Amino acid sequence: MNRTLPVQKNEYIEVVFEDLTHDGAGVAKVDGYPIFVPKALPGESAKIKVIKVNKGYGFGRLIELYEKSPYRVEIPISEAHKYGGCQLQHLSYEGQLKYKENLVRQVLTRIGKLEDVKVLPILGMNNPWHYRNKAQVPVGEKDGELIAGFFKPRSHEIVDTDESVIQLPEVNEAIQTVKEICRKLGIESYDEENHKGVLRHIMARYGLQTGELMVVLITRTADLPFKNQLVDELVTRLPRIKSIVHNVNAKRTNVILGEKTTVLWGNEVIYDSIGNVKFAISALSFYQVNPVQTKVLYDKALEYAGLNGEETVIDAYCGIGTISLFLAQKARSVFGVEVVPEAIEDAKRNAALNGITNAEFAVGEAETVIPKWYKEGHTADVFVVDPPRKGCDEALLETIITMKPKKVVYVSCNPATLARDLRILEDGGYNTLEVQPVDMFPGTTHVETVALLERK
- Tell me the catalytic residues: 413
Report the alpha-carbon angle 131-134-138, nearest 5.
120
Beta bridge partners of 383: 314, 408
3-class SS string, the chain: CCCCCCCCCCCEEEEEEEEECCCCCEEEEECCEEEEECCCCCCCEEEEEEEEECCCCEEEEEEEEEECCCCECCCCCCCHHHCCCCCCCCECHHHHHHHHHHHHHHHHHHCCCCCCCEECCCECCCCCCCCECEEEEEEEEECCEEEEEEECCCCCCEEECCCCCCECHHHHHHHHHHHHHHHHHCCCECECCCCECCEEEEEEEECCCCCCEEEEEEECCCCCCCHHHHHHHHHHHCCCEEEEEEEECCCCCCCCCCCEEEEEEECCCEEEEECCEEEEECCCCCCCCCHHHHHHHHHHHHHHHCCCCCCEEEEECCCCCHHHHHHHCCCCEEEEEECCHHHHHHHHHHHHHCCCCCEEEEECCHHHHHHHHHHCCCCCCEEEECCCCCCCCHHHHHHHHHHCCCEEEEEECCHHHHHHHHHHHHHCCEEEEEEEEECCCCCCCCCEEEEEEEEC
